[in-house]
């Protein structure tokens, strides 16, 4: 048995080296846990391509949406302490909270938040929390009342950071502690996860120099990107950790009965990791889980079957990081994979390989499948760009001189934005955000193209509308909605 396990781990080791080359990943760390023991733990590549400092088991990565497993477990601790119930109403803890629909406001349960079945559109708050950070958390949540649901209440899984932001505020209302402080005191410290931090301010200290630099692959070039701050949505994605720390989190779920700390009772873990809602295999989720016939979501965990085994898993991604934690509870086995290259399927490729080696036939080339999906994605972007250029109407001019387009515009959901005529062109500003500024260039007629200051962000089109007197009355930003001039 030991020889067979060693051979499997050697295959995984070599496989990761190949994946690093194929996907041009600067650095990656992995930890595999069996029972309560680490059976494989290693860093690959570098945390910084300029200094060539290597990744090791103690390199800190943003773990992004793996944070949701901690937030759901924090709610579980409050259930365990009889301070709330899974099916308590949100407004009983946050009386000022409102959804777009009065019935949903009255009936929304904590359980609904943790399994993404509120009806809110996918990533619905991201235009606020990503492009501007001049709103308080309370102001951000107030704007949920202006979001039109994508589906009926409890009718569909729609993944969004908003619901976990709300869950974080429920924790604060019950305990009197900010989400960050509660998770630190009640989970990270008891588990001795000494290199896991609730936000970036903890890792900026010189004591923690072993921090991975984030990168993306853009135009076939590896580019360093800013370290993204999860301002306002900490409970949805702000944690930073190492694979050496993550193995302690894995053992809580891979072997809950035997775990010495008894931090989370087995009954709570069972509730967290039982399916609540079906995830339809479409779009992004179909790309992340090809070959998975039935994908479900529990309370902060994706749940599916592979090779006859129940799998609980959650991935994460930000501008320059991709991560996953994957656990096979009945086999007391789990692993975490953290890498510092965003916009990739690297953790998913390795995840499939590990599951195939331990529980499958190991005959499917998941790397080839996911590389093809990535190539198709890039090809679609290129084809779409060619089509846009072909449909562009030549030799047109805007209706007005450039200064007529400047002003203050407002959207009920996002709030006020400004458009200024400067020496550098028309500059759009969403507020005091890390990624809030962009330039408008004329496309055709009264359509402009918005290019963000950080050019690796996808550009968008801006459409200007006139009133009956021929004055500009509003603008519409692709994916952001209509803004009225004020």
Q: Predicted confidence band at 101 (pLDDT cuts at 50, 70, 90)? A: very high
Per CATH, the number for 402-485 is 2.40.128.600
User: For the segment 345-394, what is each residue's pLDDT rounded down to a tens digit?
Assistant: 999 999 999 999 998 887 888 899 889 988 888 888 899 999 999 999 99
DSSP secondary structure letter of residue 64: G
Query: Which residues, 6 or more positions from 144, have their beta carbon under 8 angstroms from its beta carbon?
Result: 97, 98, 99, 100, 120, 124, 125, 162, 166
Q: Predicted confidence band at 200 (pLDDT cuts at 50, 70, 90)? A: confident
Q: Do 2-378 and 402-485 fold alike per CATH? A: no
205 bridge partner residues: none
Q: What pLDDT sits at residue 257?
A: 60
Q: Predicted confidence band at 125 (pLDDT cuts at 50, 70, 90)? A: confident
Q: Whole-number mean pLDDT of the chain?
A: 91
CB 414 within 8 A of CB 480: yes
Residue ranges covered by each domain of the chain: 2-378, 402-485
This prediction's pTM: 0.93
The residue ranking higher by pLDDT, 145 or 456, is 145
Q: Predicted confidence band at 167 (pLDDT cuts at 50, 70, 90)? A: very high
**Distance separating alpha carbons of residues 92 and 80, to the nearest angstrom:** 19
CB 415 within 8 A of CB 404: no
* Sign of the CA dihedral with 369 first, then 370, 372, and 377 last: positive
**Distance separating alpha carbons of residues 187 and 264, to the nearest angstrom:** 9
- Indicate whether 281 pLDDT > 80: no
CB 66 within 8 A of CB 323: yes
**Distance separating alpha carbons of residues 452 and 253, to the nearest angstrom:** 42
The residue with tokens 């004055």 is 471
- CA 416-420-421 angle, 5° bins: 160
Q: What pLDDT sits at residue 206?
A: 61
Average pLDDT over residues 22-43: 95
- Options 2.130.10.30, 3.40.50.720, 3.40.710.10, 3.40.630.30; CATH of 2-378: 3.40.710.10
* Sign of the CA dihedral with 278 first, then 282, 286, and 292 last: positive
**Distance separating alpha carbons of residues 448 and 445, to the nearest angstrom:** 8
User: For the segment 147-157, what is each residue's pLDDT rounded down to a tens digit?
Assistant: 999 899 999 99
Query: Which residues, 6 or more positions from 446, have their beta carbon under 8 angstroms from its beta carbon?
Result: 398, 399, 463, 464, 465, 466
Query: Which residues, 6 or more positions from 385, have their beta carbon under 8 angstroms from its beta carbon?
Result: none
The residue ranking higher by pLDDT, 125 or 310, is 310
Closest CA to 318 of 385, 384, 234, 244: 234
Relative orientation angle of helices 346-359 and 2-23, to the nearest 10 degrees: 160
**pLDDT > 70: what percent of the chain?**
96
Q: What pLDDT sits at residue 277?
A: 97
3-class secondary structure, 429: strand
Q: What pLDDT sits at residue 478?
A: 86
Q: How far is CA 187 from each of CA 60, 184, 190, 264, rounded to the nearest angstrom?
A: 18, 6, 6, 9
Q: Predicted confidence band at 433 (pLDDT cuts at 50, 70, 90)? A: low
Q: How many CB atoms lie within 10 A of CB 42?
A: 17
DSSP 38-104: EEEEEEEEEEETTTTEEP-TT-BEE-GGGHHHHHHHHHHHHHHTTS--TT-BGGGT-TT---SSHHH
Q: What pLDDT sits at residue 455?
A: 67
Q: What pLDDT sits at residue 440?
A: 94
Burial environment of residue 14 by CB neighbours within 10 A (0 to 12, 13 to 18, 19 or more): exposed
User: For the segment 246-259, what is each residue's pLDDT rounded down to a tens digit?
Assistant: 999 999 998 766 55
Q: What pLDDT sits at residue 205?
A: 61
The residue ranking higher by pLDDT, 278 or 3, is 278
Burial environment of residue 22 by CB neighbours within 10 A (0 to 12, 13 to 18, 19 or more): middle
């Amino acid at each position: 048995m030991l020889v067979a396990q060693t051979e499997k781990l050697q295959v995984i080791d070599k496989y990761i080296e190949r994946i690093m080359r194929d996907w041009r990943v600067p650095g990656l760390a992995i930890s595999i846990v069996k029972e309560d023991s680490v059976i494989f733990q290693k860093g690959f590549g570098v945390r910084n391509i300029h200094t060539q400092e290597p990744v090791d088991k103690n390199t800190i990565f943003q773990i992004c949406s793996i944070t949701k497993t901690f937030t759901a477990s924090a709610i579980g601790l409050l259930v365990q302490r009889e301070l709330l119930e899974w099916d308590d109403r949100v407004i009983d803890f946050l009386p000022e909270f409102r959804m777009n629909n009065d019935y949903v406001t009255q009936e929304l349960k904590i359980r609904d938040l943790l399994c993404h079945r509120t009806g809110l559109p996918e990533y619905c708050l991201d235009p606020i929390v990503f492009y501007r950070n001049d709103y308080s958390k309370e102001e951000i949540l107030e704007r949920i009342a202006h979001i039109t649901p994508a589906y009926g209440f409890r009718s569909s899984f729609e993944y969004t950071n908003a619901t976990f932001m709300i869950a974080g505020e429920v924790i604060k209302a019950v305990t009197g502690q900010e989400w960050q402080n509660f998770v630190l005191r009640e989970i990270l410290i008891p588990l001795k996860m000494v290199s896991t931090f609730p936000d970036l301010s903890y890792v900026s200290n010189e004591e923690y120099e072993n921090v991975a630099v984030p990168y993306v692959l853009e135009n076939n070039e590896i580019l360093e990107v800013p370290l993204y701050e999860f301002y306002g949505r900490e409970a949805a994605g702000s944690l930073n950790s190492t694979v050496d720390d993550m193995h302690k989190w894995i053992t809580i779920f891979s072997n809950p009965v035997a775990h010495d700390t008894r931090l989370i009772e087995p009954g709570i873990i069972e509730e967290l990791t039982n399916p609540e809602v079906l995830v339809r295999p479409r779009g992004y989720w179909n790309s992340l889980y090809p070959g998975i016939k039935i994908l479900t979501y529990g309370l902060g965990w994706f749940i599916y079957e592979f090779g006859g085994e129940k799998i609980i898993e959650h991935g994460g991604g930000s501008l320059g990081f991709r991560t996953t934690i994957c656990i096979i509870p009945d086999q007391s086995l789990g692993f975490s994979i953290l890498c510092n290259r965003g916009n990739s399927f690297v953790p998913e490729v390795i995840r499939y390989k590990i599951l195939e080696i331990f529980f499958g036939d190991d005959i499917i080339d998941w790397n080839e499948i996911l590389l093809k999906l990535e190539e198709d994605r890039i090809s679609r972007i290129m084809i779409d760009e060619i089509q846009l250029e072909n449909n562009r109407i030549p030799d047109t001019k805007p209706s007005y001189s450039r200064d007529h387009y400047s002003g203050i515009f407002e959207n009920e959901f996002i709030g006020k934005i400004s458009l200024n005529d400067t020496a550098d062109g028309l500059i759009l500003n969403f507020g005091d955000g890390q990624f809030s500024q962009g330039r408008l260039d004329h496309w055709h007629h009264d359509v402009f193209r918005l290019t963000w200051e950080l050019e690796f962000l996808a550009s968008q089109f801006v459409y200007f509308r006139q009133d009956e007197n021929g004055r500009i009355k509003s603008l519409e930003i692709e994916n952001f909605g209509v803004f009225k001039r004020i």
